[in-house]
Structure 1
Amino acid sequence: MTDFVYRSVMRDIKQNILKGNYEGMRLPDERSLAEHYQVSRSSMKRALGVLAEEGIVFKKRGSGTFINPLYLKNQALFRYEGSNLGLTDSFKWPGKKQTIKLLNFHVVKATSEIAQDLFLNEQDFVYEFKRLRLLDNQPFLIETGYLPIKIMPELKPEILQSSLFNYLEDEQNKTVTKAFLNITVEPSNSEDQKEMKLTPTEPVGVMDGIFFLDDGTPFEVSNMRVHYHYMRFNTFVNLNR
């Protein structure tokens, strides 16, 4: 799969930040960075923009772009890479490898609720899939998702065994940039206990959400049940928007 230029630039800048290669906690100006990486100004601007949105760097008007000291103290809070809101990136844990096991995948007619959430007709069909996510060999999340066939008519089971959102960006140049999430905690059910090796008295975190493409199109309705050991929610608030 292709790797967007700005992603490679972002990775290298992050590595240079962690190595302490930027004097005074300040990055070179945009033009100098573009020349150094031999990329266009627009690619460089996007890379710096995403780093700023993630909270890794911040721009001080008239002074330049600076490194957020909190990033150096705890990189785990800033672990997402790219412009998508996918779980594969947002649930990365240092030293642990994430894998995905596809539990089921089929086409169903949209219920009235799913049709409403995805702006479909009730006669439209959607993909329904269930995935189990693991960190090393520990199952930590059960994800049930629904997405319109018309957005990804080529969806195959093997695509769902890795990051769906990154596939969408790499292969279709579309990004998932917005989401409405409802986050709660509730007792684990029998499936949670079986798949995530929980006892009947252990709870799960529950995230229900609707994810949107950058053009505003609803892309997926998802229910995620998370092992309580891994239920961490971090956010970066930008009040300029």
Structure 2
Amino acid sequence: MSVRPKYSQIADQLIQLIVSEKQQLNTRFFTENELSKKYNVSRSTIRAALSELEDLKFITKAKNTGYYVSYEPAKFDFAKFYSFSKVAHKENLAPTSELLMFAKTTPNYYIAQKLGLKQDELVYRIERLRMLNFQPILFEKTFLPAKRFPKLRRNELLKNSLYDLLSTKYALKIKDGEEEFFASLINARESELLDLKVGTPCLKIQRRTFDVDHIPFEFTITTAPSRYFSYKVPLANNEV
């Protein structure tokens, strides 16, 4: 198994620093130059590490002023469980997916925590570009515990819905899930995949899914461009 890239190792240390609350919400984060000297690496390596933190919404970058801590422990609301493929079919749209990555790797600290794993436990990293009527609309990064789903194969994901595959091959029974939404902007890689300009508004959606024993088996980060999605949430007046 290959060693994780240096930028990923640095990102992991910075995540732990923020989660341990040694860096407070909305406070100024380290500069690229400070981190480059601290870890004795190039600024390009630091930028890659900071990009990973931005993607997970631990930090945000303000124009001309640097990075700020944006991580806050989440409070989740539960909604009806859904499947991208099944929702698309219900709307008479043609869902397709392009599998961009299928690899077994070690997770960073944050993802390991979300899946209830130790950091040396392997996960599958699955990256997919979701399309409707052959128009790219979602970019997904999914993480699954490898020990839970041994012998999962790339070609199986090309032919099946992920949830259908896990339910059939591993007798997985899905109970529910939780999602957290962030306003964000399309980055350079997402720009190429989704055919949108860098800086286009989008939603970042972090999704964790549980089995009937309330054990998390999936953590997915989704980039959803704002021009394709709107969300309506019911509000209840408990004082009436």
Q: What TM-score, normalized by structure 2, do the two folds share?
A: 0.58
**Cα offset for 1:84?**
6.1
Unaligned runs of 5+ in 2: 1-79, 236-240
Using a 3 Å threshold, how does the CA distance of structure 1 residues 210 and 170 change in structure 2: closer, same or farther?
Answer: same
Q: Which residue of 1 aligns with 2:169?
A: 171
Structure (1 or 2) with the greater helix fraction: 1
Aligned pairs for 1:5-84 (under 5 A) are none
RMSD: 2.3
Q: How many residues align?
A: 155
Cα offsets for 1:182-216 (capped at 9, x unmatched)? 11221111122111111235211210121111221
Q: Which aligned pairs between 1:210-225 and structure 2 lie closer than 5 A? A: 210-225=208-223
Aligned pair partner of 1:127 in 124, 128, 144:
124
Give 1:138 shift: 0.2
2:186 pairs with 1:188: yes
Aligned to 1:230, what secondary structure does the other structure show?
coil
Evaluate the alpha carbon distance shift between residue 222 and residue 175 of structure 1 in structure 2; reply closer, same or farther with a 3 A threshold.
Answer: same
1:137: which partner in 2?
A: 134
2:95 paired residue number: 98
Displacement of 1:226 in angstroms is 1.1
Question: Could you list the runs of 5+ residues in structure 1 that have no partner in the other structure?
Answer: 1-82
* Residue identity in the other structure for 2:116: F
Q: Which residue of 1 aligns with 2:26?
A: none
How far, CA to CA, are the matches of 1:93 and 1:233 in structure 2? 17
Whole-angstrom distance in 1 between the partners of 2:199 and 2:123: 35
Secondary structure of the equivalent of 2:204?
A: strand
Query: Cα deviations across residues 126-170 of structure 1 (Å, max 9, x unaligned)?
Result: 111100011111000000011101111121112223311111223
Q: Which runs of 4+ in 1 moved over 4 A?
A: 234-237
1:221, distance to aligned residue in structure 2 (A): 1.0
Amino acid at match of 1:147: L
CA–CA distance in 1 between the matches of 2:234 and 2:157? 28
SS in 1 for 2:227: helix
Q: Are 2:194 and 1:202 equivalent residues in the alignment? A: no
Partners in 2 of 1:84 and 1:98 — Cα distance? 18
